[in-house]
Structure 1
Amino acid sequence: MVIRVTMLALPALMAGAAIAQAQGMPSFGVEATTDEVRRGLSWSEGKASASADAAVSLGGFDLSARMAATRGAARHLGADAVADLTLARRWTIGLFDVSALVSGHLFAGAADTAHYAELGLGASYALGPARVGAGARYAPRQGAIGGDNLYLYGDAALGIPATPFSLSASLGHSRGSVRDPARAARLRPDGAYTDWRIGADYARGPLLVGLDYTGTDVKGGAPGGHAGDRVIGRVRLSF
């Protein structure tokens, strides 16, 4: 019941923020990528995807919305698109930036109910152009994902001084309980798995061009497919 209420409340929260943001400065962006990959798994059936996003800070909270094409992905029951709605709060505690969030993932065009929600907690530390962080995302037990799902991750980023280039890397691990194996395989093929990513970005003004190498230790025949190593290109325009 808590998850259901959260999923219904998120769109209302974001709409309310948009109405009340007289003093807020929203940001927007559009992006094209050769594959919509999350945690090493393709969410767009291994095909090119496009997305649009918006974010605003209001009253100490960060609200964001992103919609991406999923291209009829079998992983998400044939959904054509996913909308990610997030409400986050950030604090500075000593030398660390700490954040907590709740996200709802809403799927359009799926053959059955595919929506789910998750909670997150993370912390990062920055020193000059370098930043390191770690965190967790937890999706409580929900029918759409066949159980619960815990994702633990660590990441790092480095801006190369006096250049428009930056480097980044991340390592994550997914695990959780299984009540419905077919649904659980959406987020966690093989029952549990590890993913990794190494990326490089070039940013000039509102334009960002990126290249990522991603991979997982998921076996090739895992449900949903599209979980192997790949190189992904990205182009983003912010305004």
Structure 2
Amino acid sequence: MKGIEDKSLDQLIEIVPESAYGANATMFSVALEGWKRGLKLKFFKKYIKNRVKIRYSLSNEEREIKFQLSLAEFVPKETRNITRSKKNTKDYLLKADIPTPQGRSFSGENEDDEIINYAKTLEYPLVIKPVSASLGIGVTTNIYDEETFSENLKHLRGNKGYKEIIVEQQVTGEDTRLFVVGDQVVSAFKRIAANVIGDGKHTIKELIELKNSNRKKTHMLAVLKLKLMLR
């Protein structure tokens, strides 16, 4: 972004342990960088629904800030509750006149037939997903006909147990995430779907193995290997 100095954290590649790969990489990286910059680092346990969760804080002589992964404690609880629900997020975006895909949410009280009939009013392709899941869990894209939609709906609500779901038209475009501190956007990055590009030398399987080898260098991707799916 213009006017913002690029401060690379390449040094983390060699010092983040494999046990911290995945979602915990953000906690390890933020905690480590804070400690390296002279802040006091403290880890502590927190019991949530009878489960032990690890939290940490960074402090100086004037202030202490507690974190959950990369999320600071001063992020309002209301904000966190909104973003945990795709329904609430969609509602707030619409209130702010921010364009969202056409669609709506359904609760456990809605019957499958009602949802299927609603899907008929939308243009294909469609997307179906749980209201509260994250990390792409339960999301099905590229639904182009009623039969496929019905099968995925029954699988999601029946086999997977997600009764509250959202049905939307599929929108294509760049997937960009923004990082906000206070009321300022301080960085942005574009998310690119996992892929391989042929080079005329390697097979698809070999290209996937090479890509997985490179993904090991990125802490968030190291545990998410590409798989060759044969049909």
TM-score norm. by structure 1 comes to 0.23
TM-score norm. by structure 2 comes to 0.24
